[in-house]
Amino acid sequence: MSFLSWAWDWASQSANWHGPGSIPYQILAHLGYSGASLLVAAVIAIPAGVAVGHTGRGAVVVVNLANAWRAIPTLGLLLLFVLDLGGFSVLTWLVPLAVLAVPPILVNAYEGVAGVDPGVRDAARGAGMTPWQQVTRVEVPIALPLILVGLRTGAVFVVATATLVAYTGLGGMGRFIFDGLASNEYGPVAGGALILMALAVVVLVFFAVLARLVVPAGLRRQRRAE
């Protein structure tokens, strides 16, 4: 049998779509892990990246720290938190997944704000704007396309890596993959992997639609021309 045949045979069984532990249940759990982690990462990384981009202070530290941060093994962090906390809690999955999402969001927020035309900054100051107004009314709106790229990248990373949460005994789409591997059943493994790929595509489409809704057409054209 092929990968798609295994996935279809498993997904077409009605029993897999009803009750606790079903496909919809695990999809919601997976999205819950991913969404909460992305939100925490965004709350930390976007203000930090914007502040560094606006002031220019700490830029080298931010870039080097983000690059080093990417090398942290997420599975190792998951298991470390399970062992240190003596069991499962929100922190066992929230912190490692948020750590994974921080670097792309941080770097893109910094680069987006730092890349604002100096002439635009001067015009904002000349108009009597306070530093806070310059950031919120001028720099962040101009940097928004790059900020959304960072969020999109972080979201795709988190959705893919949230599969590992099931390795520690919790739910999500990884539950089907790990349980299937443990019992030599390839249907759940193939089906779970296929649904994960579909979720990643949905994330990409969501951010593409979001960009069209919140980013002015002129900025989108400018970004494509660069």
Is 142 inside a domain boundary? yes
Is 198 inside a domain boundary? yes
Is 17 inside a domain boundary? no
Domain that holds residue 176: 3-9+23-225
Is 100 inside a domain boundary? yes
Is 111 inside a domain boundary? yes
- Dist CA 205 CA 35 (whole Å): 16
Average pLDDT over residues 187-214: 92
Q: Under a CB-based contact definition with an 8 Å cutoff, are residues 62 and 107 in contact?
A: yes
- Listing DSSP states for 154-168 in one string gives HHHHHHHHGGGGGGG
- How far is residue 125 from each of residues 49, 133, 196, 206, 210, measured CA to CA in Å? 21, 9, 47, 35, 30
Q: Which segment of 7-16, 73-82, 104-113, 156-165 scores lowest on mean pLDDT?
A: 73-82
- Dist CA 57 CA 207 (whole Å): 30
What's the CATH number where 217 sits? 1.10.3720.10
- Dist CA 49 CA 155 (whole Å): 17
- Dist CA 57 CA 194 (whole Å): 44
Structural domain count of the chain:
1
* Per-residue confidence (pLDDT) for residue 23, from 0 to 100: 94
- Express each pLDDT in 64-100 by its tens digit: 777 777 677 766 777 676 666 555 667 778 888 898 8
- Express each pLDDT in 20-43 by its tens digit: 889 999 999 999 999 999 999 999
Is 15 inside a domain boundary? no
